[in-house]
């Protein structure tokens, strides 16, 4: 767990090994740390210098021998804060220079209209794409098939972002106990959800319609997390028509009940 945490804030595999070894052993020459982590002395020395540059380690010279030691773990918080500030500066710089990229950009007509994504991070990217437009978002989904890590992302980041941007949603979901709890929170997340019988409408993929021509297909099948974004008005309008018909029909059936 600690190893993954250190990697997540920018440490390399070797930096993690040396950092944790120094944390356990206390102040030591690079040669001792090298033996402990089974690396050559020169490589270990270089890594120690990198840890010093990160502000999480320091060096003391005694009798012409350099001893390395790491700062208290609280130094990692300062390092993470520094990284965050650095990325914010980079983000602002990219925004400032975006027009310059237009000289390299191909004509829009030649840009692929179908984009593929894989894995959890790829699926998150697709969800984030829906936030670029004012809405509304219309979607077919099965709440029960959403994996835990994606669910945490939706609840912790995506849905609050929808509310902040005031993006409304209309959803058609396969009926289940979890889907009904999902429906109960509609007003909080600016959405309307209707439930349909799973046997009649077995949604194996989530389909989202947003913008003026974008359709996203998301598969949560175990071992095959994939997603596709298609930019095509004909497909968008066709699926929008199907959605509207089913949404109104399901709504009227619910009222009769």
pLDDT tens, 180-229? Answer: 999 999 999 999 999 998 888 888 899 999 998 999 999 988 777 899 99
Compute the mean pLDDT over every residue in the chain, rounded to the nearest whole number. Answer: 88
Q: Given this model, what pLDDT does residue 103 score?
A: 74
Could you tell me the CATH number of the domain that includes residue 27? 1.10.10.10
Q: Assess if residue 105 is contained within a domain.
A: no
Whether 166 and 45 share a structural domain:
no
Nearest CA to 21 out of 46, 1, 3, 7 is that of: 3
For 237, the token pair is 């309008």
User: For the whole model, what pTM was predicted?
Assistant: 0.61
**Contact assessment for residue 189 and residue 159, using Cβ atoms and an 8 Å cutoff:** yes
Whether 138 and 44 share a structural domain:
no
**Domain interval for residue 35:** 2-70
Whether 243 and 143 share a structural domain:
yes
| 109-166 pLDDT tens trace | 555 589 999 999 999 999 999 999 987 999 999 998 898 889 999 999 999 999 999 9
Considering 51, 70, 89, which residue would you say is the last residue of a domain? 70
For 177, the token pair is 């106990």
Q: Given this model, what pLDDT does residue 167 score?
A: 95
User: How many CB atoms sit inside 10 A of residue 204's CB?
Assistant: 9
Whether 10 and 124 share a structural domain:
no
Per DSSP bridges, beta strands 191-196 and 137-141 are: unpaired
Whether 130 and 22 share a structural domain:
no
Q: Assess if residue 157 is contained within a domain.
A: yes
Q: Domain tally for the chain?
A: 2
Whether 212 and 139 share a structural domain:
yes
**Contact assessment for residue 138 and residue 174, using Cβ atoms and an 8 Å cutoff:** no
Q: Compute the distance between CA of residue 144 and CA of residue 45 in angstroms, rounded to an integer.
A: 51
User: For residue 129, how far is the Cα from the chain centroid?
Assistant: 11
Q: 169 - beta bridge partners?
A: 137, 191
Whether 198 and 128 share a structural domain:
yes
**Contact assessment for residue 34 and residue 43, using Cβ atoms and an 8 Å cutoff:** yes
For 58, the token pair is 């320091």
Q: 171 - beta bridge partners?
A: 139, 193
Q: Assess if residue 76 is contained within a domain.
A: no
DSSP state of 205: S
Q: Assess if residue 96 is contained within a domain.
A: no
Could you tell me the CATH number of the domain that includes residue 125? 3.30.870.10
Strand order of the β-sheet with 28-29 is 28-29, 65-70, 57-62
Whether 63 and 187 share a structural domain:
no
For 183, the token pair is 């429906």
| 34-84 pLDDT tens trace | 999 999 989 999 999 999 998 999 988 888 888 898 888 888 999 889 888
């Amino acid at each position: 767990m600690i190893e993954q945490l250190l990697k997540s804030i920018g440490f390399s595999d070797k930096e993690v090994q040396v950092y944790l070894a120094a944390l356990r052993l206390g102040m030591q020459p690079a040669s001792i740390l090298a033996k402990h982590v089974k690396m050559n002395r020169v490589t270990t020395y270089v890594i120690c210098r990198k840890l010093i540059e990160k502000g999480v380690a320091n060096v003391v010279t005694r009798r012409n021998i350099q001893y390395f030691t790491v700062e208290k773990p609280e130094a990692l918080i300062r390092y993470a804060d520094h990284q965050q500030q650095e990325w914010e500066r980079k983000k602002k710089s990219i925004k400032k220079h975006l027009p310059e990229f237009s000289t390299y950009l191909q004509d829009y007509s030649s840009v692929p209209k179908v984009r593929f994504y894989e894995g959890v991070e790829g699926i998150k990217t697709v969800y984030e794409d829906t936030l670029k437009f004012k809405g509304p978002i219309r979607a077919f989904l099965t709440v029960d098939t959403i994996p835990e890590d994606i669910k945490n992302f939706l609840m912790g980041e995506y849905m609050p972002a929808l509310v902040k941007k005031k993006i409304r949603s209309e959803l058609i979901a396969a009926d289940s106990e979890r889907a009904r709890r999902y429906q109960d929170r509609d007003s909080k997340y600016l959405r309307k959800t209707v439930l349909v019988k799973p046997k009649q409408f077995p949604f194996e993929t989530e389909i989202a319609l947003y913008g003026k021509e974008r359709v996203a297909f998301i598969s949560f099948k175990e071992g095959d997390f994939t997603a596709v974004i298609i930019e095509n008005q004909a497909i968008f309008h066709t699926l929008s028509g199907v959605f509207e018909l089913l949404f109104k029909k399901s709504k009227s059936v619910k009222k009769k009940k």
